[in-house]
Structure 1
């Protein structure tokens, strides 16, 4: 969007929060960059320059605004929903690949040369991979300064800086403030040891409005697998496998978006954990654009009006989602939970946590391959499909990660014996984050079509592209089910 100067000017004049994260405004007279909704006086058009990312603005020499805190915006929905190489690269950087594997590792994941990768990101994101990773580190460091009482040196290394000196220099350059000054502006929360070697941090996760938490939290609660997930006192808790160590996360809808408490075995994994939680809850979606488009259809309009801002219940890991969907094929939600709990108890990785009921990490594909046949208490054909899928995931033949090529993943899934179109669409929707997946043969969708008087659902759904995953959420809500309910949350207690 940042290339459409007239549209950007209209957005900053209106101080429209819908565009926060979609572009950034550099003010030439002050040398700062802002989010579109910044409450400061709107600069003259001749004095502004627009950028696609915070990293691009920083690379151009602008520092972050102290009033609107542009780094605290929701992520751009463009990077989240698109499936091209540029978006895949940005998602991988957001997941921490550059910090873990360097630029060569990122290029290898995408099948590009380093030079091709740098050109791709410079052209599309306005900054190269190192600049994007640096902006990520700076925002993580600011979050830790404001949300914890950790020593500066610990924060520097936890955020991924190679030295305290580079940490101090970056914070002064990006925020025009020292780490001590930034800490004084925080809400005064504390970083707390919580037992089991975990360090706990409380955060508020920004979300674009409107936000309907009913189906996304409801789905996670209704399908929770014992040992990995639990819902208690209005809060959804789960364990989370990370590239280094693990975390326990506690999530609940809040006035500011989503309230999150993260307990991490390695504090340096905080940005990766946050990125995965945001994907889990689909927090970077653009609900206004989606609802406006779907609401133009008279059949969907009442559903959208009743529950604006529905999100897609995704996952923290594509491999996990695929295996869970296969476990739940052709069985009830309760049976799927039982199958999942049996698998977790048999081959899940035990972890010690201070939260009752959280005892394991969901097993990796490699561990699933080691599960004895007795764990799979269902027909041999489905058991073999799970094993074939786990093998493909384990040996890298099938990639369902955050940087996966969605079209390639779909084709490989569909070519596997035992996996049909419904399974492919469900994995694409929840595991790959495809906004246009549509399991047309799903029983809930078929019943919704009958209720709406739609004779040919597959043909009708073509008019809902490219947002059919979101149309699916509205259609599913027509059938009463616990996946649309959050016990104790006003507006989400009654089933749709």
Structure 2
């Protein structure tokens, strides 16, 4: 969008928050860059320059605005509804791959050379992978400096910097303030609250309004696996398997943001944990664009108007969700939870949770690959489906991570025994993150279609739903609201 100067100027002059994260405005007379909705008087159009990323602004010598804080915007929706190499690279960078494995690791995950990846990112985002990762570290550092009591040296390493000196230099360059000045500007170290727990970070996760928390948290709570997930004190809580250790997160809806409480065994996992929580809750979506498209269908419009801003509940672990999808084939939600809980108890890694009742990490594919099929209380065909899946996940021949190609992943899943269209598409929707995944054979979707007067056969229904593309996964969320099911409501 940053190449459409006229549209960008209009968005800035209107202070339109819908475009925050889509592009950034740099002002040549002040040397700063802002989000489109910056509350200051808009600069003259001739002094505006538009960039596709904060990293591109920084590389061009601009510093972040201290008023609108452009680094706190939701991420660009582009990276979650595209499956090309640039989008996959951005999802991997958000997951910390450059910090852990370097640019070579990023390129290897995508199947390209480092030169190809750098060229594509520079062409579209105005910055290479190192600059994009650096901008992410700077955002994480600022978040920790301003909202936690961590010593600044600990902040440096938690944000992913290799040294305190690099941390100091980067923060000074990006924000025109030292880390100490950033903390002082925010009022010093936050005071300890009465309910503060040592080692727990309290954060705010921004999103684009509107957001309907009913289907999002209702779905996660209704399908929660005991020991791994729970709904407690108005928050969805779950365990996280992370690159350097594990964590526990509590997520709760609030006005204008999601309250996030994170407990990590290794602070280096902070940026990755935040990225995975944002992905789980689909917080970088553009609900206005989605709902506007779905409202063009007169049969869907009343559902959208009744509860706009529905998100697609996703996952923090793609392999985990694929296993749970198999366990949920042709059984009730309660039965699927029971099957998953048995796997967790038998093969999951035990953890401590002082603030709640979580007990385990969901077992990894490697752990499940060693299980005895006879120990599974499943039909023989379902055992074969599950063991084949975990075997492919464990040996790396099936990759469902954020770097995965959606078309290739669908093809690989379809080859597995017991994988029909419903299983493939529900994994595409919630694990791969394809916003156009569609479930015409799902029982709840079929019942909704019948009640709304939509075609009843899968082929005719799919043809009719072509008008909803590329947002059919969101249309499914609205269709599920026709039934009065716990997945549509916040737990009491």
Q: Which TM class, normalised by the smaller chain length? A: over 0.9
State how far apart, in whole Å, the 2-side matches of 1:149 and 1:190 are. 8
Alignment match, 2:467: 463
215-224 vs 456-465, greater mean Cα deviation: 456-465
State how far apart, in whole Å, the 2-side matches of 1:101 and 1:280 are. 24
Q: Deviations over 1:311-338 (max 9, x none)?
A: 0010001111111111111000000110
* CA deviation after TM superposition for structure 1 residue 356, in Å: 2.9
SS at match of 2:312: coil
Alignment match, 1:429: 429
Q: Is contact 1:346-1:375 (8 Å) kept?
A: no
What pairs with 1:205-354 in structure 2 (closer than 5 Å)?
A: 205-354=205-354
Q: Where does the alignment leave 5 or more consecutive residues of structure 2 unmatched?
A: none
- TM-score (structure 2 length as normaliser): 0.97
Alignment match, 1:118: 118
Q: Is contact 1:195-1:354 (8 Å) kept?
A: no
Q: Is contact 2:392-2:398 (8 Å) kept?
A: yes
Alignment match, 1:189: 190
SS at match of 1:431: helix
Q: Is contact 1:94-1:275 (8 Å) kept?
A: yes
SS at match of 2:371: coil
State how far apart, in whole Å, the 2-side matches of 1:71 and 1:426 are. 33
* CA deviation after TM superposition for structure 1 residue 371, in Å: 2.4
State how far apart, in whole Å, the 2-side matches of 1:224 and 1:186 are. 37
Q: Deviations over 1:393-438 (max 9, x none)?
A: 1111111001111111011101111101111100000000000000
SS at match of 1:477: helix
State how far apart, in whole Å, the 2-side matches of 1:276 and 1:214 are. 20
Alignment match, 1:443: 443
Alignment match, 2:399: 399
Q: Is contact 1:29-1:47 (8 Å) kept?
A: yes
State how far apart, in whole Å, the 2-side matches of 1:50 and 1:195 are. 41
Q: Is contact 1:20-1:36 (8 Å) kept?
A: yes
State how far apart, in whole Å, the 1-side matches of 2:105 and 2:284 are. 26
SS at match of 2:22: coil
Q: Is contact 2:209-2:256 (8 Å) kept?
A: no
Q: Is contact 1:445-1:476 (8 Å) kept?
A: yes
Alignment match, 1:494: none
Moved over 4 A (4+): none
State how far apart, in whole Å, the 1-side matches of 2:186 and 2:249 are. 22
Alignment match, 2:11: 11
SS at match of 2:250: strand
Q: Does the C-alpha gap of structure 1 residues 191 and 381 become closer, same or farther in structure 2, counting only changes over 3 Å?
A: farther
Alignment match, 1:136: 136
SS at match of 1:33: strand
* CA deviation after TM superposition for structure 1 residue 253, in Å: 0.4
* CA deviation after TM superposition for structure 1 residue 256, in Å: 2.6
Q: Does the C-alpha gap of structure 1 residues 225 and 43 become closer, same or farther in structure 2, counting only changes over 3 Å?
A: same
SS at match of 1:149: coil
State how far apart, in whole Å, the 1-side matches of 2:442 and 2:475 are. 13
State how far apart, in whole Å, the 1-side matches of 2:205 and 2:446 are. 35
State how far apart, in whole Å, the 2-side matches of 1:16 and 1:480 are. 36
Q: Is contact 2:145-2:179 (8 Å) kept?
A: yes
- TM-score (structure 1 length as normaliser): 0.96
* CA deviation after TM superposition for structure 1 residue 373, in Å: 3.0
State how far apart, in whole Å, the 2-side matches of 1:195 and 1:257 are. 20
State how far apart, in whole Å, the 2-side matches of 1:180 and 1:448 are. 56
State how far apart, in whole Å, the 1-side matches of 2:477 and 2:300 are. 11
Alignment match, 1:479: 483
State how far apart, in whole Å, the 2-side matches of 1:191 and 1:424 are. 47
Q: Is contact 2:384-2:417 (8 Å) kept?
A: no
State the Cα RMSD in Å.
Answer: 1.6
What pairs with 1:93-112 in structure 2 (closer than 5 Å)?
A: 93-112=93-112
Q: Is contact 1:314-1:429 (8 Å) kept?
A: yes
SS at match of 2:482: coil
Q: Is contact 1:149-1:189 (8 Å) kept?
A: yes
State how far apart, in whole Å, the 2-side matches of 1:217 and 1:191 are. 28
What pairs with 1:55-66 in structure 2 (closer than 5 Å)?
A: 55-66=55-66
State how far apart, in whole Å, the 1-side matches of 2:306 and 2:125 are. 36
SS at match of 2:124: helix
* CA deviation after TM superposition for structure 1 residue 79, in Å: 1.1
